[in-house]
Amino acid sequence: MHYCAEVTIELKSGMLDPEGTTIKRALGHLGYQTTNVSTAKKYLIEVDEESRDIAEQKVDEMCQKLIANPIIHNYTIELRETQ
Amino acid sequence: MTIAIIQFGGSNCDLDVLHVLQEVLNVDAELVWYKDNNLDHYDGAIIPGGFSYGDYLRSGAIASRTPIMDSIKRMADSEKPIMGICNGFQILTESGLLDGALTTNEYPKFKCEWSYLRVETTDTPFTSRFNKGDVIRVPIAHKDGNFYSDEPTLTKLDDNQQVVFRYVDKNGQITDEANPNGSHENIAGIVNEKKNVMGLMPHPERASESILGTTDGLRMFQSMIDHISK
C-alpha cells in the first residue's frame, strides 16, 4: 500500500522560538495582537509498505534517527493511505 | 603525525584550518573528503566550519549521518583528539558525540564579530597551552550557535568540567551582554566525558596569526599537537 505521512516537527515547550517571536512582533506592527506565535516544520514522506502499522513504525524510526532532534523537538505523524 | 581535516559538501573553513596547521605550525595535515571512510592512520581530526549540505533539515544534521562519521566515532573511541569548529560543533552534537544542541541565535541573525572567551579548564587536549581563567579573543560567525541542553545535562557538564569556553566580557565576567547568541550559561565550547572531543562555535583558525589581530586561537591547535606528540 502507498502511504503519505505528514510529519510535523515542533520545538519542545519552554524552548526559545526566535523566529516565532519575530513574526509575533511583525504582526504587532500590522495591528494584530497575538498571544503567541510558534513555528513548526512539516515534511511529507511517502512510502510503500505492507500495512499501516509498518508504515507508521518506519516513519517513526525516520523521525527518531534524522527528521527530528529528540533533544529539542517533539513530533507528530499523521498517516493517510494514498493512491 | 598527520591530522585529518574532514570536508563535506559545503564546508568552507577547511582551507583556513589546513593553512594554520601546515603553514603556521608546520604540521602534516590532509583534507579528507567525507566519502573516504577509513581514518585509522590519522592521529586526530578537525571538522571545520561552513554550511554542510546548506544547513538543510538542521545545521549539521545531514553531515552527521554520513558514513565517515562511523570512522570519526571509532577515532573518538580510540581517544584521539577531535575538534569541531562552528558547523563542526553542530555536526558533533547532531551525531551524539557531544551533548546538547545548537539552536537559532536568540536574536535570529547571522552574527560575525569578535567575542571574548574565558578558558574554563586546561585539562583537555585542546587547552593545555592556556591558564584557567584566561580571557581570549576569537571571532564567531554563525546563526545557529545558541547552545541548548536540558538541566540535568548542564549540571553534568558543569560537574565534570566539560565546559571549555564561555562567552564573557573583556574583564572575564559572564554577562548577558557578552552572550552573542543566547547560549545556556554562556557556553561557547564543550568536550565529551573523555575530553578528547571538543566542539566550539568560535573560529580559532581565524585568530591564529598576528596579522589577523591575535594568535589566541593558535594555542588550541598547539595544545592538540602537544597532546598527539606526547
Per-residue pLDDT tens digits for B79-137: 999 999 999 999 999 999 999 999 999 998 999 999 999 999 999 999 999 999 999 99
CATH assignment at residue B17: 3.40.50.880
Measure A18 CA to nearest chain B CA, in Å.
Answer: 6
Task: Check CB contact under 8 Å for B100 and A71.
Answer: yes
Split into its structural domains, chain B has a count of: 1
- What lies within 8 Å, CB to CB, of B199 at 6+ separation is B83, B84, B85, B88, B89, B90, B92, B93, B98, B189, B190
What chain B residue is nearest to A72 in terms of C-alpha separation? B101
* Domain ranges within chain A, ordered by starting residue: 2-82
From chain A, the residues in CB contact with B149 under 8 A are 71
Residue where the block lists cell 534517527? A65
The verdict on A66 touching B (C-beta cutoff 8 Å) is yes
State pLDDT tens for residues A5-47: 999 999 999 899 999 999 999 999 999 999 999 999 999 999 9
CA distance B39 to B37: 6
Measure B67 CA to nearest chain A CA, in Å.
Answer: 14
> Shortest CA distance to B118 belongs to which of B177, B181, B188?
B188
- Pick A19's closest partner by Cβ from B58, B94, B108: B108
Assess whether B203 carries a catalytic annotation.
yes
DSSP E strand stretches across chain B: 2-7, 28-33, 44-47, 82-85, 101-103, 111-119, 135-142, 146-148, 163-168, 187-191, 197-200
Assess whether B205 carries a catalytic annotation.
yes
Q: What percent of chain B has pLDDT over 90?
A: 98
Dmax of chain A from CA atoms?
51
Residues counted in chain A: 83
With bands split at pLDDT 50, 70 and 90, how would you rate the model's confidence at B36? confident
Residue A83 has pLDDT above 80, yes or no: no
Residue B224 has pLDDT above 80, yes or no: yes
Q: What is the pLDDT of residue B144?
A: 97
ipTM of the complex model: 0.86
Assess whether B86 carries a catalytic annotation.
yes
Task: Check CB contact under 8 Å for B58 and A19.
Answer: no
The topology (CATH level 3) of A2-82 is: Mth169; Chain: A , (3.30.1280)
From chain B, the residues in CB contact with A72 under 8 A are 101, 103, 148
Domain containing B139 equals: 2-229
CA distance B180 to B84: 19
Q: Which three cell numbers stand for residue B61?
A: 544534521
Q: What is the pLDDT of residue A45?
A: 98
- What lies within 8 Å, CB to CB, of B224 at 6+ separation is B3, B44, B81, B83, B125, B126
**End-to-end CA distance of chain B, in Å?**
11
- What lies within 8 Å, CB to CB, of A30 at 6+ separation is none
